Structure 1
């Protein structure tokens, strides 16, 4: 139980850590210094872990991992979408 709580807290902290980047992009409408390749690789890694998290949750374990990984997937997807949106506009 303690490790599940630690997983949830750690995963939430890691996911919430992306929010300042999202706010900064929206505020400045600039993604000039962000690497799309890096974020796409990160997104791919999270997607692969998401498949594993779904399998664990289907077996009745790893629900905390699924929740926190899904949150990370959502926020990193948002960064990628914002990069695509604002890179296209600036060209």
Structure 2
């Protein structure tokens, strides 16, 4: 149980750490210094881990991993969407 709590806290910290970047993008409407390839790799990696997270959660374990990975995927997709939205305006 303690490891699930540690994973949940650690995963949330890692996911929430990207929120200042999203705020900065929305405030400045600029993504000129962000590399789209980096975020494509991150989204691909997290999406693959999401498949694994669903698999282990269906087995009755790994719900903390599923929760934090899902949040990370949504945040990365948000940043990727911002890059696609604002890259031509930069």
Give 4+ residue runs of structure 1 displaced > 3 Å after superposition.
none
* C-alpha displacement of 1:89: 3.2
Normalised by the size of structure 1, how large is the TM-score?
0.97
- Matched length: 90
TM-score by length of 2: 0.98
Distance 1:62 1:83 in 2: 31
Q: Check the 8 A contact 2:30/2:89 in 1, yes or no.
A: no
Q: Secondary structure at the match of 1:78?
A: helix
How far apart, CA to CA, are the structure 1 residues paired with 2:52 and 2:44?
Answer: 13
**Where in structure 1 are there 5+ consecutive unaligned residues?**
none
1:77 paired residue number: 77
